[in-house]
Each structure stands twice: as C-alpha cells, then as structure tokens.
Structure 1
C-alpha cells in the first residue's frame, strides 16, 4: 500500500509568537520591539531583533542624507558596542534568568522551583514535619494482625531478640503485642512502649559507641553485632509509639538515606573508636619523621600506602579517619535492610531533612 504524502517538503517556518501552540507557555516582553515572546524562543528572537536594528541603521544611507555625527552613531560597530554595554542585552541567558526569577520562587523545603502563583499551594502540601512522617509510617502498620512478644522483666532484651528473630507466622509490620511473664495485663499500648523503650536503650549502649563531642554514635565494629532485626525494632519504635533512635552520627544517617558511600563526608570528630582516636592524637603530636616512623605499623594497618613522614601528616590522618568509619559500612548496610519496614527507608531517602531529627541528636526541625 502506498500512501500519498500530504506535502512534498516539511514546513520548517517558525511559528509566530502569537501562535495558538504558545498560548499556555510563559512569555516575556522583548524590550526592543515590545512583543510578547515565549521564554523558550526569546534568545533567538532577541538576536533577530538585533539584526533588524542593524539592517535599518546600515540601510539608512540610501534613504536620507546624514551628518558625520549621524553616520558615526548609526554604524554597526557602535550599535554592537551599545548593545554589549547595555545590561538588558549583556547576555540572553541572564535576561531570561531575570525574567524567570521574577515569576518563580523556590520552595524552602524541597528546594524545587515553582511559579509564584502556585508556590503557596505547593508549600501547604510540601510542608511536612517529622510528626507527619511518624503519622505516615504509623498508617502502614497492619492493625488487623498482631506480632506477639512474651518476655521476662529480668531480661527483656535477650528474650525479646530471641522471639523477634524466631517469629515465622507473623511480621513486625503487624501491631506489636507485648506480655510479661507472670502478669495478667493486656497490652493496650503501654506495655509495647515499655518494651520498645528498653530495646532501643540497650541497642544504643551495646551496639553503638559515642564520640567525645556527644553528637551521635557509630556502630561498633563487629560483623555479627548488627543485623536487620535491630533496625526493624527501630522502625517499629518509630511507627508504634516508642522512642526514636536519636543516637546516630549524621554521616551514618546520610548513608542510611542514600546507601552511597562515595558521598560520605567524615572528619576526625566522626572517629568514635578509642583505638583510632588515640592514633590520631599520636600522629598529631609527632614533630619529626623519626617520631612518625614509630607509628608505621599502625598507620599502614589503616590502609595508608604513602610515605610515612611529618610532611604527610594530613594524608595519614585522613587515611585513619576513612579506615575507622568505612569499615562499619557493612553494619550500616544491614541496618538499611531493616529500615525497609513500612517503607521507612524510602521515606528517609525522599525527606532526609525531615527524618534527621528522628535519628541524629541535637538536630531540630527547620522551616
């Protein structure tokens, strides 16, 4: 079958600025011809306006007599210089940015750019707070089923972890129901909060180590110490009325949000392991290469492969910091898996600033 083409050649003639296709596009006024032009077409339009002005000036010799002063003012070079000096035509891009900025505004929460006419409506929906994050993940709890835990008050943590790991018939996504041996109380929420408070407290003290500045803790380096069950307890505590796990260092939290270790930014204050903190102090106190050479074995053990000398002190300290922090990334990766409960990890990735006060001490909500 052969279909006769409607036209032999494709029409590539630009549409006029007042074409129907441009009705809903943002427009700006050209200061040379006062015509309203779509923003996307404005750079090309300005250039064409410049050419028209130049053509008019250069062709005026044929239509009238001009004095030397008029000839000089109408020359192409002079016109170009005036256009270049004019702040309005210094750059087409800067002109567009100026017009665009006047008509738009940045959302202080999500940092996206919106039209100034709708920014207030957007902000009303975008204006989440940490409390609303908690309400959202709480709505993901399965209230139709229960996740039963029966523990003794004498050893809540050990017994609680054993039962948490052995549960096969139900999921921690369900409503937590706690009972204590020898007690007839029915869990209406208070027993669960008591259980979660004890579990979060012990997880912090046993499995994390604090720094000198008290601005959060790193995981203890032990491949068997942390698994997804501990972070599941953190997620359940946030979703079901327990205390938030506000004890992580900020770099740990950022990794939990993104999972990207290449973007991690750490400093000497993020080293919470006493062994490496002391090594950094020793390196800082070295005043000669001989002093530094006494620490060679410890420095090389941190993965440093450069020259061990006083001149390389900053590089050596950097290697120690990276070794101390990056070696606990596998533990953080296990925590990320458990935080997938209730889709909490996804929420952290989408709203890290709002989730930050739930995990990092000393951080308050902004906006």
Structure 2
C-alpha cells in the first residue's frame, strides 16, 4: 500500500468523526475496536487519527504503537519494555520523572552503581549479625521478616538488602546496622550506598529531568519480578494521571493488535483497559485495530466499546480516489472495471494507482537524446 498521505484520504470520514466524538468529555464510550482484512487501510486510518491529535488547537498526547513494526516489537521484551515504549511515544518527558526514578530503583547496575557497597554490606551483616538481629532490623524497617526469601541467615540478609535497595532505603538499613553494632566501622559502606542514593534523588528544578538509565529489571524470582512490574505500572499510571490533568485528553492507538506479543496484550487488557473500566482513568481514548477483532467480553466493559469495521470502496469512492485524489485523468480509465477487479480494497487500489501514474517525467528520460 502507498505510504501515508492524508491528501489521498477517501471514505473514512465517519471513523474520524467517531474518533472526534470519543474525545469529547460528554461521550460515554472510550474504546473503538476496528477490525478489517488485510489492505483495508487500518494503518492509514490510525496514522490519520494520530495526525488529528497533533492538529488540534491544544495538541493531544498520542501513543501510536504498531505491533507489526519489528523495531517496536524488539523493544517489547517484557512489561518494562512496553511501558518504556509507551512513555517515549507520549513525548512528554517532564511528566515521567517519578516513573523513571521507580524504574531506576528496580534496574540498578550493581557493578557500576554502588555494587561494591552492597556486597560489602552483605558480608558485614553475615559476619556480625544472627537471624534474630536480621528479624529485629526487618521489624525496625517495617518489612515482614517472614516474607523475606530463604530460610538461612545469608538468604534472609540478601533478601532484606534487596528489599531496601528497591525501596531506596539502603542508607536507613546501614544506619540501623551502625546502631546495632556501633563498634563496627560502617562508614565505607554508608559512603557507597549514599552515592547511589544521591543519583536517585528527584530534582527540584521545574525543568530538570530524571533519566531512565535503561538498566535491565533485576529480580531473583518471578514473584519479585511481578512486584517490580506492579510498582512500575502504578508509577506509570500515576504520572499519566498528572499528564491528563494538564492535557485533558490522551490517546492510545494500537495497530496490528493481532500481532501483539502476549505481554503487550496482557498489559492492554489488565493494566490499561481495566483501569479505564473501573474509573481509575478518565479522559483517555483507546483505538484497537487489527485483522481480527480483539475479544474483550471477559472484561465486561461493553458500555465503553465502539465496534467498527472498514468496508470496501464503492464505485464513487474509487472514482474520487483515482480522479480527485491521485489526479489520474486517462480517457481509457474504466472505474467500473477497476472497482470490480480490486474488490474496492484500498490497498489494491493504491497499487493500481501507483502503476497508473508515470514514474519518470519526459524531460528526465536519460535515453531521449540517443
């Protein structure tokens, strides 16, 4: 199909008007589910909707994800990768400082960001503390000792350190260790973990940003990974709520939904749409397009859905496309035959129009003077 050019747009005005209606605060529905076979112009439609978001008097932040795009699929290795991609697509970095700080807290590189201090802390705690001491430290930190992974002293200590690191409380842990064993010199460890904590401090300047350090999610178990992803998602949607307060509307445009990885479909269903259904998110519009309709009956949100499909072009639409949009005025042009042959499929019509137009101007013919 030809690359997107909004000047070629034909017979999709109802979809655009429907999208505009969804953006109105008085509209109850919030999710449009568009299904159509191949080459029916789904991607053209989504691109046009994205352009509409940019053309409004107050531009609407829009995250457009194409699940058939290999580059985007490469980024969606896990839920964190998807959150990062959506955040970047929204292109509002100043609103996501808290998210980036949360991500950094779960993706610390122990080799470069205080890793030596963490290892030293573990060794010192294993040397100077017993299980009862670790239990007491956990109590002081309001961390459930029984929930710490493992049964041995070493395992409990590692789990406690990891918990404090992910909560940004390593300095507090070292301080409690120093109170419990004041005769031991904890200052080198405190200096290391303090340096890590300084990196994670949220900047106070209005224009300062916390950068996502793009580390990998660190977790020793599936349970830890799920907890990290849950906190990252909660932080993302908290940032999104602040963005909505200032921008009033946000659009999520998902194309090629049938190719979405399981992690992406799960996130759309159970993070985005469930929050929308339960009223935790307002002023959000979601467009889902694909060759097959995404079944959302299990979410019990039919009152928010607008089902839609793309129909083939009629003969009048084909004439408009060839003559008015593509400027093809060949006297031998048989619109009826073109309509029947193409089936009114926009992708087939685009290819036929491409071939019907000359690709080289007469005065550019290299061989004309030979």
Give the TM-score of the pair, scaled to structure 2: 0.22
Structure 1 or 2, whichever has the larger Rg, is: 1
Structure with greater contact order relative to length (CA < 8 Å, sep ≥ 6): 2
Give the TM-score of the pair, scaled to structure 1: 0.22
